[in-house]
Amino acid sequence: MPDLGHDLTGCAELLRRGDPDRFRAAMAAPVAARRVLFPIYAFNVEVSRAPWMTQESMIAEMRLQWWRDALEEIAEGGKVRRHEVVTPLAEVLDPEGARLLDALVVARQWDIYRDPFEDAAHLTRYLEHTSGNLMLAAARALGKVDAQVVLDAGYATGVAAWLRAIPALEEAGRIPLLDGRPEGIRALAEDGMQRLRAARAQRGKISAEARPALLAAWQTGGILRRAAAHPARVAHGGLEPSPIRSALGLMARSMTGRW
């Protein structure tokens, strides 16, 4: 029999190294919620880095397909391949959760190539299917939610993370923005803030059990406000929050549940 405790420890370590912010958010969640968040977030680490581990597009496509195949096994409810992340992931996902994460993997195919986004709708879809679907899959696995509320919060969180990643993406030869002018960056940040406000206005539609999945948005508002007020900071990574303020903010949200 698989040692799920060992697997969860491995997922937590993978998350700690690969996505420190979500690791901190998961650690601020109740212990019972971590067994759900760790494998889902670890899955995201594995998938998000797959396109960057090789210069060969075909190999990158094959890596992503491996994860799609694993999610198909989970969705079908039959035998699932043994893997440190897949095995505990199968314990927390239902078929709809697997479908959400499959769309995330498909969206990550953009990361393999150097083509720009086709238009604003393409960028929005990418952020909704990556950050939005991740948050929704995690929240659904924990409790009852309103999908649109979670997707709005997930999209906003995706915009904040995307703006923080601009320098690294450009250094890697990607074209991450449709409009890199201050006006374009400000518009993207304001769009994220609008959807975050919409989500927070509907907090009551998220069950108490599911709220720990929304802790991943704890830094989102501050990052988006800084980007909107000072768009020039995006080019040199100037959106990072104060470590002390960030830690206090996470503590406050984990205690109050007001993500």
pLDDT in tens, 179-209: 999 999 999 999 999 999 999 999 999 999 9
Q: Cα separation of 28 and 251, whole Å?
A: 7
Contacts of 210 (CB under 8 A, 6+ apart): 139, 140, 142, 143, 144, 145, 150
Q: What is the pLDDT of residue 3?
A: 74
Q: Is residue 119 classed exposed, middle or buried when 0-12, 13-18 and 19+ CB atoms within 10 A define those classes?
A: exposed
Contacts of 42 (CB under 8 A, 6+ apart): 10, 11, 12, 14, 15, 18, 85, 89
- Cβ proximity of 107 and 167 under 8 Å: no
Other beta carbons within 10 Å of 68 = 15
Q: What is the pLDDT of residue 25?
A: 98
Contacts of 55 (CB under 8 A, 6+ apart): none
**CATH code assigned to 117-259:** 1.10.600.10
Which two structure tokens, joined as six digits, stand for 249? 């903010």
What residue ranges of the chain have pLDDT lower than 50?
none
Q: What is the pLDDT of residue 2?
A: 63
User: What does the buried/exposed string (b/e) look like for 40-61 if buried means 16 or more CB atoms within 10 Å of the residue's CB?
Assistant: bbbbbbbbbebbeeeeeeeebe
pTM for the whole structure:
0.96
Domain boundaries, the chain: 1-113, 117-259
Q: What is the pLDDT of residue 246?
A: 93
Helices 120-127 and 147-171, packing angle to 10 deg: 110
Q: Cα separation of 95 and 93, whole Å?
A: 7
Most distant pair of Cα atoms in the chain: their distance: 56
